[in-house]
């Protein structure tokens, strides 16, 4: 699957000094009725306990200008927890999860169901709010970043 390119998102969870997040290419729209997102998070990541504790997450779809944000939330350079939020402007919508102000899309979700399998949790989130803006999406595939131009 490394050969398959995907859009890059940052999944955020937690509040204040107990916030963290992860970079993923596994955030998808699961259904329109009702509006539901699906994310896959490694059970050993720092993001999983925050999602369980707070019952929320936000999918922040990154633009082609946000590779540094993707790297920070991927833990490159050893950045952890709330330090991953430094250098970007953040707000909240409904659930309290971090919303990246200049993301292409931010989908604020309340955890609806969790399925744990092997090393990961599949987390279904009921969409509570959405924020959108125009731009080209950041993509990741075969170990490197690229751009998905707006269609």
The single-letter DSSP state of residue 133 is -
Residue 1 lies in a domain: no
Question: How does pLDDT run across 52-101, given as a tens digit for each residue?
Answer: 999 999 999 999 999 999 999 999 999 999 999 999 999 999 999 999 99
Say if residue 151's pLDDT is above 80: no
User: Would you call 111 helix, strand, or coil by DSSP?
Assistant: strand
Q: Tell me what pLDDT residue 149 has.
A: 65
Residue 46 lies in a domain: yes
Residue 59 lies in a domain: yes
CATH number at residue 67: 2.30.110.10
The tally of domains found in the chain comes to 1
Residue 93 lies in a domain: yes
The least confident of 2-11, 91-100, 123-132, 141-150 is: 141-150
150 Cβ contact partners less than 8 Å away, ≥ 6 residues apart: 134, 135, 136, 137
Residue 74 lies in a domain: yes
The model carries a pTM of 0.95
Q: Domain span at residue 120?
A: 6-148
Distances (CA, A) of 68 to 8, 56, 73, 145: 12, 24, 9, 11
Residue 12 lies in a domain: yes
Task: Answer whether 76's CB lies under 8 Å from 36's CB.
Answer: no
């Amino acid at each position: 699957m490394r050969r398959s390119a995907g859009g890059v998102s940052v999944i955020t969870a937690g509040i204040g000094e107990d916030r963290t997040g992860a970079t993923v290419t596994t955030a998808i729209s699961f259904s329109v009725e009702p509006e539901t997102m699906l994310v896959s998070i490694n059970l050993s990541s720092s993001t999983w306990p925050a999602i369980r504790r707070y019952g929320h997450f936000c999918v922040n779809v990154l633009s082609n200008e946000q590779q540094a944000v993707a790297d920070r939330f991927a833990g490159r350079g050893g950045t952890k927890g709330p330090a991953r939020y430094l250098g970007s402007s953040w707000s909240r919508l409904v659930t309290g999860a971090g919303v990246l102000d200049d993301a292409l899309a931010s989908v604020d979700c309340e955890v609806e169901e969790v399925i744990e399998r092997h090393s990961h949790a599949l987390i279904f989130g009921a969409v509570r709010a959405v924020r959108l803006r125009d731009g080209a999406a950041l993509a990741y595939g075969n170990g490197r970043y690229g751009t998905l131009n707006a269609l």
